[in-house]
Copies of this chain bind each other. A is one copy, B any other.
């Protein structure tokens, strides 16, 4: 994928009228710029410059001991190794290319485009002191956002397979759920199925899978506990797996029947239906040209119109090489989201849709689906949950 993503980047440089994209990194296994996985392919030890120009040149300037690994990958046909310091070869390359604009790997708004550390920024300023290039630096967030967002067919195929495998895992899990199991036990079953598939997690093991049961559960972004799934509980799981470097990120909701119950109580069904319909409505609205906050408002408005509290997070995020794949977000206009609410939906982007409601006395109902934006709408990559799943004793 890396070669074709670099080619795609050259096209984006032309589109944005930027002469050069510079990914400036060091010890990238310690502090890892996500751009390494997108357009480099291996880590580096010493200060290194990966340069792509609008003319299609690809140049890597790196410590001599890192040369062999990057030469073997072959993504940067020109490799300039150094022993004592990057200053001379870096400045020589800049003088030769003489770019009018240099997009650099930092961003206030997009964390996946923000791999340049502040120390490395200061080092870059020091290297460029006395040259005309220090004043030509711009953020590369526009390049990175487009490059991540515009999925190529092989990328889409991997995300689709990750979704299908995860939906299948949920189906297998369903057959093994019993009242009285703990969050940890349920998570262990999921891990066992994942390992049998030969796949790995999409995010940190400490909350992938995440399992939440009942009204006292943490609700999101926490690991499974010894809390027991009891009759009357809503139980939801949040899980993603990785297929050839690309992620899924899906949620499903179950209700644990009480003795004598054959269906969940009305309030639970109302909560479940609110989520199902909020997802459907958001999906029907989602298409190229709409803004992130407009999509969020469709789902949020539906949920609050039914009298449920609004969810304390975004409706959905992009997904790809990472579960949270950066840039455009389907989110409300809140301080913490910076300028992301105003991002415009484009064809080829993949989004999660994941509203939630808290059903008092029972727990949290939440589903998460994944869609790809098409020419005039969107298409589900995950088969949506339309009926609440039931657990018995």
Interface residues of A (CB under 8 A from B): 26-27, 29-34, 42-43, 45-47, 63-69, 72, 82-87, 106-123, 126, 139, 203-204, 206-207, 218-223, 225, 312-313, 322, 324, 326, 334-336
Contact = CB atoms under 8 A, between A and B. Distances in A.
A26 B108 CA distance: 11
Contacts of A121: 118, 121
B34 A32 contact: no
B72 A222 contact: yes
Contact of A65 (B45, B225, B313, B324): B313
B27 A65 contact: no
11 contacts: A30-B111, A31-B31, A31-B115, A42-B204, A67-B218, A68-B218, A108-B123, A108-B126, A110-B119, A117-B117, A117-B118
B68 A221 contact: yes
A27 to B, nearest CB: 4
A219 B68 contact: yes
Given A27-B324, A324-B27, A45 B117 contact: no
Contacts of A47: 336
A130 to B, nearest CB: 16
Nearest to A83: B312
B206 A42 contact: yes
Q: Which of A110, A117, A203: most chain B Cβ within 10 A?
A: A117
Given A27-B112, A206-B69, A219-B68, A336 B119 contact: no
A72 B183 CA distance: 15
Contacts of A203: 29
A108 B109 CA distance: 23
Chain A contact surface mostly: loop
Given A27-B324, A30-B324, A115-B117, 12 more contacts: A29-B322, A30-B111, A30-B112, A31-B114, A32-B32, A42-B204, A45-B324, A65-B312, A66-B221, A69-B207, A69-B218, A107-B119
Contacts of A82: 336
A46 B314 CA distance: 12
A28 to B, nearest CB: 9
Contact of A109 (B69, B119, B204): B119
A29 B205 CA distance: 11
A85 B334 contact: yes
B223 A69 contact: yes
B111 A31 contact: yes
Nearest to A121: B118
Contacts of A64: 312
A112 B113 CA distance: 20
Contact of A46 (B45, B107, B336): B336
A308 to B, nearest CB: 16
A47 B114 CA distance: 13
Contacts of A30: 34, 111-112, 322, 324, 326
A116 B123 CA distance: 14
Contact of A86 (B45, B85, B111, B336): B336
A241 to B, nearest CB: 15
B111 A27 contact: yes
A27 B113 CA distance: 12
A391 to B, nearest CB: 23
Contacts of A67: 218
B219 A65 contact: yes
Contacts of A27: 111-112, 324
Nearest to A321: B30
A117 to B, nearest CB: 4
